[in-house]
Amino acid sequence: MVRIIRSVIVVCCLFISLQAFMLWTATGRKALTRFPTEELTQQADSGLSDLFSDTGLNDDLGEVQKLDNRFTFGLLPSPAANAEAVSLMTVAGPALLVALLAIQPIGWSKRKSHHKNDSE
């Protein structure tokens, strides 16, 4: 029975890690997790390239690139300590650690319980 429970734990942990990896791949394999923000949307709508169009500084460079304001599931969490704390490493890392612990043999716990019986 213990072997079945451990197998189920390992399979579930591997599925969690696989789903996290697939989400990271689907959102562009960025280094840091990012959520869309209202500030970036307002800046993109205000036309940043229009601010310096009269100076001629960027005439050789072409148009200013638009800001990327979309969700990215990053490899590492964003330095901000809020919702961006989710990442591939914070989701898949603990799941893989639990899977590794589930794979460990149970001989140590048997010896420990057997040791308690000897001392009584």
Query: What are the pLDDT tens digits along the chain (120 aa)?
Result: 889 999 999 999 999 999 999 999 999 999 998 888 888 777 666 665 666 667 766 666 666 667 788 889 999 998 876 766 899 999 999 999 999 999 998 765 555 555 555 554
Give the Cα separation of 29 and 36 in Å (integer): 16
* Beta carbons within 8 Å of 35's beta carbon, 6+ residues apart: 71, 83, 84
DSSP 8-64: HHHHHHHHHHHHHHHHHHHTT--SB-B---HHHHHHHHH-HHHHTTTTTTTTTT-SP
Closest of 80, 65, 89, 95 to residue 34, by C-alpha: 80
Question: Which pair of structure tokens corresponds to residue 45?
Answer: 């709508």
What are the structural domain ranges in the chain? Answer: 1-33+72-120, 36-70
Phi, psi of 34 (to 5 degrees): -140, 140
pLDDT score at 109: 54
Query: What pTM was estimated for this model as a whole?
Result: 0.70
Question: Which pair of structure tokens corresponds to residue 3?
Answer: 């072997």
Task: Measure the N-to-C terminal CA separation of the chain; round to a whole number of Å.
Answer: 28
- Provide the 10 A C-beta neighbour count for residue 48: 13
